[in-house]
Amino acid sequence: MVKILIALVLFLTQNTLSSYGAHSFKKIQLPSLGSEAYAFDAQNGGPYTGLNDGRIVKFHGPNLGFLDFATTTQNRSKRACDGTSGNDLRTCLVCGKPIGLEFNKRTGDLYILDAYHGLMVVGKGGGAATQLAGGRGGTHFDFADGIDLDPITGVVYITDLGSILSKTSNMTEILLGNDRSGRLLKYDPKTKQCGVILTGLAMPAGVAVARDGSFVLMTEYLNCRITRYWLKGPKANTSDIFAELPGNPDNIKRTKTGDFWVAVNIQKLHPKLTVFPLGQKISAKGEILETVNFYGEYNATYITEVQEQFGKFYVASIYTDFVGVYSGGLRC
Ligand SMILES: *[C@@H]1O[C@H](CO)[C@@H](O)[C@H](O)[C@H]1NC(C)=O
Ligand SMILES: *[C@@H]1O[C@H](CO)[C@@H](O)[C@H](O)[C@H]1NC(C)=O
Ligand SMILES: *[C@@H]1O[C@H](CO)[C@@H](O)[C@H](O)[C@H]1NC(C)=O
Ligand SMILES: *[C@@H]1O[C@H](CO)[C@@H](O)[C@H](O)[C@H]1NC(C)=O
């Protein structure tokens, strides 16, 4: 907490935040809450996103809005599941709980992380996804959260938050605690093997592979930093600190040019839990290039992802029933 408070004070006094003009902010209505992450297909269609009630939906433009695309349970019933809050275990098991998703742009397959059903895949036509690893009773995942694919090899990288969420969902307790049960895993579609690469991570929420496949980044939520694991070169199989952040990072997404956007929430615990949602652009060398303040539109709402697509910025939050889209570029 002390670390977070000091970071907050330093950050707010030393940095002039840039922000997007309100007129360039647009909301795309979602069918339900719980949209944590977005994916775009190889034809730039989307966004696709998962919802609390288990649906994976695709945006078809302003007239049609979001339509059903895929499910992570074979027998999901729309009548029983659509609109459910996804807050109880039974509903999650029956309806699904997709929280991360990313396309293999070469094959068109959509890889999905379901918090209870593990790593799954569905073809470009959508429908019922097939389980590849982890899942209920499986030994592979505690709480899988982040997913990205090596853009060159198609190997899937997954972050697992660890066991903390099975002990408490109280954010204050989680922030004051010292959990290090998170892991980085990889799934190789060629060998169909899933294995652990790194352990001892502090709630690794997000993951992103470098454009050239030389390293993979994990956001360590409780450590307020991004850790890098080298996949190639002389440092292969070792990890180091990539960037220190002013708050708790969630998802991290690579841009077309090889930089990254990370959603950062500065959290102040006293007198009550307050959140300052930011987006930070970080170069492939780990330099923070831009900091954007989303407080204007999101207030103290926790955000989970910032993704850049063709000059637009898509902001996700599991607490909003819309996709936030900023366009018109950054204004300081
Ligand atoms: C799904 O439905 C099929 C056909 O009714 C049934 O055989 C199968 O056991 C069901 N699967 C689950 C997980 O309920
Ligand atoms: C969360 O934990 C904090 C610190 O232990 C406690 O003060 C607070 O009452 C808890 N909140 C809830 C909703 O249980
Ligand atoms: C990294 O690990 C892989 C797999 O164990 C091994 O093949 C490779 O030689 C290692 N690279 C370095 C630089 O240690
Ligand atoms: C932020 O507050 C404004 C003004 O009360 C409100 O219109 C807006 O919906 C809030 N945004 C979110 C994401 O809750």
| Nearest atom in ligand 3 to 237's CA | 1
The tokens describing 241, both together, are 């600190």
Give me 37's structure tokens. Answer: 């992450």
pLDDT of the residue at 17: 46
Ligand nearest to the CA of 131: 1
DSSP characters over 74-97: TT--HHHHTT----SHHHHHHH--
Query: Model confidence over 303-319: pLDDT tens digits?
Result: 999 999 988 999 999 99
Pocket residue to mutate for ligand 3, from 193, 237, 239, most atoms within 8 A of Cβ = 237
How many other CB atoms are there within 10 angstroms of residue 16's CB atom?
A: 9
The CATH superfamily label for domain 2-328 reads TolB, C-terminal domain (2.120.10.30)
pLDDT at residue 327 in the model: 86
Ligand 1 mean position, distance from CA 72 (Å): 13
Q: What does pLDDT average to over the chain?
A: 90
Pick the ligand that lies closest to the CA of residue 197: 3
Largest CA distance in the chain: 55
Cα 263 to Cα 147, 161, 208, 236, 285: the distances in Å are 15, 16, 13, 27, 18
DSSP string spanning 310-332? Answer: TTEEEEE-TT-SEEEEE-S--B-
Where do the structural domains in the chain lie, given as residue ranges?
2-328
Residue type, position 10, single letter:
L
Per-residue model confidence as pLDDT tens digits over 227-244: 999 999 999 999 999 999
Q: pTM score, two decimals?
A: 0.91
Give the torsion sign (CA, 315, 302, 222, 165).
negative
Q: For residue 131, give the H/E element and its range.
A: strand 130-133
Q: Return the minimum-mean-pLDDT range out of 83-92, 128-137, 319-328.
A: 128-137
pLDDT in tens, 28-45: 999 999 999 999 999 999
Q: Chain centroid to CA 114: how far?
A: 12
In short, whether 320's Cβ falls inside 6 Å of ligand 4 is yes
Residue 273 pLDDT > 90, yes or no?
no
- Decide if pLDDT at 18 tops 60: no
